Structures are given as structure tokens and as C-alpha cells.
């Protein structure tokens, strides 16, 4: 969430930048400042009351020692009044703090100055494109038909076992899926990311820490008996490793990667654009996460974008990079670049990665700090990116690499699969 001092000192800037998200936050920002003034006033009054009560307690002790019992009892009655006052002030302070935090949790991150204005994904800016779109043979098929033809993904079986959006990968399809995961992890660790195996369920504090709660509560699977949530991305458990942590400046940057299944309830519309692997309730993804010094986080963001580029170049898939507009920007992000791969058989672009800088937005919730050169605690910047999300990468490979004789496996994956073609 946003820092209250930042809001106080940059009120007009915050309101103006949030208009990029098509939000008029004037009333909420003014309310936050008002709640904070109330909180600070009550805190000062409580501190003064407690200080007076402590001073009187010491005086009472001295009076009893000196035998002045009458005066001591007289002052003791005053301390009773102060204790009642401090009790009420503590309750008032908790109420004011809760009201302030409840409103802060509803305010999204302030977009970076270079985020374009816009309402939908149609207003995103294309900033890079690379790769030749292959010319397919006559009778080329979309990936869901290829999956059935070569018996490598069974959507109907997944529907039987669980429901729509839970495919079953089979034979060479399962091998190719596993190959992609291993390849992505190897690329990430070679680039300096430490691999983690992470829990697939998280508690409420973790969801709040990275901003999935309360913003995306309806999109997450909730295990109500234990109040745990199935993860929508490895970003949640991975970033929460650093919740309530104070790092030394010399420990920055921290870079980790991890593979997890991901679970999202958001899928549910109908049509060709969500068929097959295009939108799922359960899917696999490899994530990269960084904790950075605030002065170096945008350089790190550029490095993450360049890293994902190298993977797609090695896979030889046509792709493009979009800078998300304010209306399409995620709740927690200050700046996001989306990668999309071109699906030749579907004749459309498919999102396969988002790479984002959250600046201090998550770190403020997480209380993730580092001790700076002056020895003071300072909020770190957090970043994360998909490297990569598997379903649409797999769809792109199946469709773009199909031939009359079968689906050719990209050269870089053949050492992982042990075969060169699916036929």
C-alpha cells in the first residue's frame, strides 16, 4: 500500500497519477490525510496521558516512602482517571488506525510517469516486436485440435476429474511440459536467480502482503476450514519469504526463482479466445522475483525484460512487448511490461508474461526493509515476472512448430524432452 507520508507530501501528484487508472481518488486521498491527522492527534494525546500517569506513579511511590499517605492517595485517584482516559484513547487510536488502513488497502499503486493513459488492453503501447511469423501448411490446426490429434493433452478427461480449466497432459505432452519447466528454471538460475520450492497454499497475511487480498479475493480458491488460499502465482509465497525482514544493504539485490502450479477462479467466459490452453483454472508457471535498492529497481526491471527476451529468442517464437496503460495496470504495479507470443493457427497474440516493478507498494505491506548507508531502515523495492507461464507458451509451440509430419520440438528443448518431434 502507499505510504501515508508520501501521500501527505505528494497529494496532488498521487491524485493526478491515479487518474491514469481512470480513478478520481480525490475524496479518498483527502479522507486518508484526515484519518491520519486524527490518528496522530490521538497518538499524541495518548503519549501525553501515559507520560503524566507514569510521572504521577513515581511521585506516589516517593510520597508513600516519606509517609505522606494522604497526599499519595489524593494523587492515586488522579492516576485512576488517567488510566481510564488512556484506555479510551487506546481504543480510539485502534479505531482510527483501522479506518486509515482499511482505506489505504483500497488505493492502488501510483503509476510510473511513463505509464500511458488508457482504458483497456487495446490502449497498451507496443514497445518491441521480434521474430518472424511462420507460414503454416494448408490445414494447420489450433493447439486444442493438435492436442487431440496427437493425444498429448486431454481436456475432456480433466473436465471429468475436476471440471473445465483443469487439463490432463499425457505422454509427449507431459514430457514437453516438464521440459519447459526445467528449461525455464535452468535459464533463471544461470542468470543468478536462486531456485526455491515454495508452498502452494498461503495464509491470509501472505495474500495481504503482496496485494492479492483484499483486491483479488474473488479470484482465489479459499480453503475455508483452514483459512488458507491456493496460490495464484509463485509471487505470493516467494515475496512473502521477506515479510517482516530487515536486510543489510550489502545483501541487495536478492533474486529468486521458483516453479509452482497456479490456481485462479477468474476463468469462465466462452468462445475460441478461451479454448484449450488459452485460459485455465490451474496452470504451471516459473516466476522470477527480485528485492532491490530503490535507486536500482528500474535498471533491474530492464534486466528482467531482457532476460525474458533471451528465452523467447532461444525458443524462436514470434513475440512482442507491451507497456501496459493505466486502465490495464495491475492493482499493485507501478509499471508493467507484458510479453505476448503470436499464435499463428489462432491468428492472435497470447499473453505469456508480465514483468512488473511494485516500488515500495508491496514492501510497505510486507514491512520489508533494508538498513541503508546511514544505518536507517528503508523500504526496499520488489519486482517479479513470469519466466514463463507455460500454457500459452506451449500453445504457441504446438501451433507455430506444426508441420504436415508432426510438431517439431524447438532445438533448445530437445535435450530436455529426449525427442525431436511429436507425431
Averaged over 1-16, what is the pLDDT?
97
Phi, psi of 86 (to 5 degrees): -65, -35
Q: Assess whether pLDDT exceeds 70 at residue 213.
A: yes
- CATH number of the domain within which 37 lies: 1.10.287.40
Instruction: Give the model's confidence band at 71: pLDDT under 50 very low, under 70 low, under 90 confident, else very high.
Output: confident
266 marked as binding residue: yes
108 DSSP 8-state letter: P
Q: How confident is the model at residue 271, as a pLDDT?
A: 55
Question: Mind listing the pLDDT tens digit for each residue in 340-388?
Answer: 999 999 999 999 999 999 999 999 999 999 999 999 999 999 999 999 9
Q: Domain residues for 223?
A: 121-422
Decide which of 105, 138, 165 is a domain's last residue. Answer: 105
Tell me, yes or no, whether 148 lies in a domain: yes
In the block, residue with C-alpha cell 514483468: 355
Listed in sequence order, the residues at least 6 apart from 410 whose beta carbon sits closer than 8 Å to its beta carbon are 314, 315, 316, 397, 401
Question: Mind listing the pLDDT tens digit for each residue in 113-131?
Answer: 999 999 999 999 999 999 9
352 marked as binding residue: yes
Task: Indicate whether 344 and 278 sit together in one domain.
Answer: yes
Tell me, yes or no, whether 112 lies in a domain: no
Please count the structural domains in the chain: 2
265 marked as binding residue: yes
Q: How confident is the model at residue 44, as a pLDDT?
A: 96
Tell me, yes or no, whether 294 lies in a domain: yes
- CATH number of the domain within which 384 lies: 3.30.930.10
119 marked as binding residue: no
109 marked as binding residue: no
Instruction: Give the model's confidence band at 79: pLDDT under 50 very low, under 70 low, under 90 confident, else very high.
Output: confident
264 marked as binding residue: yes
Task: Indicate whether 406 and 290 sit together in one domain.
Answer: yes
Q: How confident is the model at residue 217, as a pLDDT?
A: 84
Averaged over 264-279, what is the pLDDT?
73
Instruction: Give the model's confidence band at 78: pLDDT under 50 very low, under 70 low, under 90 confident, else very high.
Output: confident
Instruction: Give the model's confidence band at 81: pLDDT under 50 very low, under 70 low, under 90 confident, else very high.
Output: confident
Task: Indicate whether 97 and 178 sit together in one domain.
Answer: no
Three cell numbers written together for 301 = 526491471
Q: How many CB atoms lie within 10 A of CB 306?
A: 11
Averaged over 296-324, what is the pLDDT?
98
Decide: helix, strand or coil at residue 224: coil
Decide which of 45, 73, 105 is a domain's last residue. Answer: 105
Q: How confident is the model at residue 273, as a pLDDT?
A: 66
Tell me, yes or no, whether 133 lies in a domain: yes
Q: Assess whether pLDDT exceeds 60 at residue 268.
A: no
Decide which of 105, 129, 157 is a domain's last residue. Answer: 105
Task: Indicate whether 199 and 100 sit together in one domain.
Answer: no
By C-alpha distance, which of 85, 95, 111 is closest to 25?
A: 111
Task: Indicate whether 90 and 128 sit together in one domain.
Answer: no
Q: How far apart are CA 61 and CA 265, in angstroms?
A: 63
Tell me, yes or no, whether 113 lies in a domain: no
Three cell numbers written together for 60 = 506516589
Secondary structure E strands in 249-380: 254-263, 282-292, 319-323, 335-343, 348-359, 369-371, 377-379
Q: Is the pTM of this model over 0.75?
A: yes
Tell me, yes or no, whether 114 lies in a domain: no
354 marked as binding residue: yes
Residue length of the chain: 423
Average pLDDT, the chain: 94
Decide: helix, strand or coil at residue 269: coil
Listed in sequence order, the residues at least 6 apart from 135 whose beta carbon sits closer than 8 Å to its beta carbon are none
351 marked as binding residue: yes
Listed in sequence order, the residues at least 6 apart from 396 whose beta carbon sits closer than 8 Å to its beta carbon are 317, 341, 342, 343, 350, 352
Task: Indicate whether 76 and 52 sit together in one domain.
Answer: yes
235 marked as binding residue: no
175 marked as binding residue: no
Tell me, yes or no, whether 110 lies in a domain: no
Task: Indicate whether 369 and 257 sit together in one domain.
Answer: yes
Amino acid at each position: 500500500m502507499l505510504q501515508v507520508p508520501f501521500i501527505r507530501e505528494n497529494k496532488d501528484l498521487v491524485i493526478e497519477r491515479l487518474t491514469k487508472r481512470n480513478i478520481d481518488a480525490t475524496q479518498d486521498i483527502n479522507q486518508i490525510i484526515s484519518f491520519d491527522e486524527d490518528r496522530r492527534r490521538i497518538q499524541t494525546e495518548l503519549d501525553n496521558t501515559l507520560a503524566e500517569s507514569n510521572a504521577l506513579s513515581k511521585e506516589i511511590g516517593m510520597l508513600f516512602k516519606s509517609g505522606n499517605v494522604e497526599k499519595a492517595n489524593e494523587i492515586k485517584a488522579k492516576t485512576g482517571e488517567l488510566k481510564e482516559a488512556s484506555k479510551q484513547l487506546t481504543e480510539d487510536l485502534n479505531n482510527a488506525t483501522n479506518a486509515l488502513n482499511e482505506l489505504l488497502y483500497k488505493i492502488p499503486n501510483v503509476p510510473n510517469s511513463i505509464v500511458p493513459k488508457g482504458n483497456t488492453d487495446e490502449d497498451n503501447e507496443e514497445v518491441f516486436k521480434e521474430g518472424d511469423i511462420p507460414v503454416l501448411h494448408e490445414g494447420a490446426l489450433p493447439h486444442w485440435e493438435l492436442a487431440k490429434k496427437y493425444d498429448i493433452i486431454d481436456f475432456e478427461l480433466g473436465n471429468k476429474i475436476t471440471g473445465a480449466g483443469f487439463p490432463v497432459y499425457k505422454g509427449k505432452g507431459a514430457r514437453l511440459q516438464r521440459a519447459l519447466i526445467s528449461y525455464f528454471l535452468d535459464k533463471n538460475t544461470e542468470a543468478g536467480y536462486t531456485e526455491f520450492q515454495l508452498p502452494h497454499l498461503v495464509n491470509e497475511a501472505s495474500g495481504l502482503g503482496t496485494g492479492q487480498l483484499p483486491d483479488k479475493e474473488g479470484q482465489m480458491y479459499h480453503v475455508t476450514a483452514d483459512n488458507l488460499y491456493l496460490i495464484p502465482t509463485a509471487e505470493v509465497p516467494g515475496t512473502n519469504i521477506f515479510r517482516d525482514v530487515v536486510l543489510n544493504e550489502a545483501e541487495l539485490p536478492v533474486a529468486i526463482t521458483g516453479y509452482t502450479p497456479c490456481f485462479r477462479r477468474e476463468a469462465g467466459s466462452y468462445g475460441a479466445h478461451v479454448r484449450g490452453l488459452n485460459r485455465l483454472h490451474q496452470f504451471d508457471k516459473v516466476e522470477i522475483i527480485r528485492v532491490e535498492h530503490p535507486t536500482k529497481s528500474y535498471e533491474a526491471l530492464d534486466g528482467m525484460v531482457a532476460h525474458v527476451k533471451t528465452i523467447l529468442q532461444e525458443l524462436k517464437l514470434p513475440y512482442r512487448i507491451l507497456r501496459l496503460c493505466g486502465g490495464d495496470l495491475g492493482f499493485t504495479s507501478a509499471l508493467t511490461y507484458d510479453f505476448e507470443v503470436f499464435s499463428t493457427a489462432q491468428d492472435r497474440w497470447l499473453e505469456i508474461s508480465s514483468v512488473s516493478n511494485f516500488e515500495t507498494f508491496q514492501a510497505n505491506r510486507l514491512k520489508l526493509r533494508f538498513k541503508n548507508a546511514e544505518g536507517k531502515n528503508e523500504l526496499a523495492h520488489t519486482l517479479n515476472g513470469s519466466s514463463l507461464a507455460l500454457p500459452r507458451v506451449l500453445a504457441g509451440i504446438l501451433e507455430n512448430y506444426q508441420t504436415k509430419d508432426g510438431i517439431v520440438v524447438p532445438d533448445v528443448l530437445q535435450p530436455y524432452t529426449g525427442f525431436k518431434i511429436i507425431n
